[in-house]
Amino acid sequence: MMIEFQSVTKNYGGDEGLSNINISLEKGKIYGLLGPNGSGKSTTLKLIAGLAYPSKGKVIVNGKTVNRKIASEVVYLTEVDMFYPSFKVKDMISYYQTQFSDFSLNKADELLSFMNLEPERKIKHLSKGNRGRLKLVLALSRTASVVLLDEPFSGLDPMVRDSIVKSLLSYIDFNNQTVIIATHEIDEIEPLLDEVIALREGEFIGKFNVEDLREKEGLSIIDWMKQTFKE
């Protein structure tokens, strides 16, 4: 297994962010991490990225218990902008190349062109949507085995979001990478997903194959979510 949660609980003060989670994720799949706000989606991603640690249990990536050093094997696109505003787009690309040995300049150039981003433009002059595109460029230019995308389409123009979502597939190496997407844009990403993981109030509800949901249950992910979270 690429990623394993072994009886993982994460406490924040007196509150449980996650409660006794056991899940295994395989290589070469795209997972959708679903649930209402506060269900534990971002906490799950941070635990895989080594930015938070379990209060109990273990998170294992590529056979190793997660710590800060896992950053060399995990891409984490956060919902929050993490940029130097005075940098130009090309400066941010250069910075990432110095930080991550798996960063591909060729892939970055290809993605910049696809995303219609000008290398000479200052980040502080980019719209929220274009900052979102730059975050995707930086994340997808790495070849790390785990790719975590937290609300990656937030702020993107709905007119271009669909083409960007579809293009994601061509920038993922399914022989070597596992992708987890936490998002509210479920309609658009449904065609990408192999499996969905559902969380509610820090508890693991289930992991389901998207094709099985469609074929056996006759449900889209949206329908299934409405049914699952209606209580």
Query: Helices marked H in the chain — which ranges?
Result: 41-49, 89-99, 105-114, 128-140, 158-167, 186-189, 210-216, 221-228
| Range with the largest mean pLDDT of 36-40, 93-97, 214-218 | 93-97
User: Residues 24, 1: contact at Cβ < 8 Å?
Assistant: yes
Looking at residue 182, its pLDDT comes to 93
Query: What is the token pair recorded at 196?
Result: 């969905």
Task: Say which amino acid occupies 95.
Answer: Y
Residue 110 CA, chain-centre distance (Å), reads: 21
Task: Say which amino acid occupies 138.
Answer: L
Chain segment 47-104, per-residue pLDDT in tens:
999 999 999 999 999 999 999 889 899 999 988 877 888 899 999 999 999 999 999 9
Give the mean model confidence (pLDDT) for residues 3-26: 90
Q: Is the pLDDT of residue 231 over 60?
A: no
Q: Which residues, listed in sequence order, are joined to residue 147 by a DSSP beta bridge?
A: 75, 179
Which domains occur in the chain, in start order? Answer: 3-228 (3.40.50.300)
Higher pLDDT, 229 or 138: 138
Looking at residue 191, its pLDDT comes to 84
Looking at residue 13, its pLDDT comes to 79
Looking at residue 215, its pLDDT comes to 86
Chain segment 142-165, per-residue pLDDT in tens:
999 999 999 888 778 777 788 888
Chain segment 155-214, per-residue pLDDT in tens:
787 777 888 887 888 889 888 899 999 987 787 788 889 999 999 889 998 888 998 888
Q: Which residues, listed in sequence order, are joined to residue 3 by a DSSP beta bridge?
A: 25, 61
Looking at residue 94, its pLDDT comes to 95
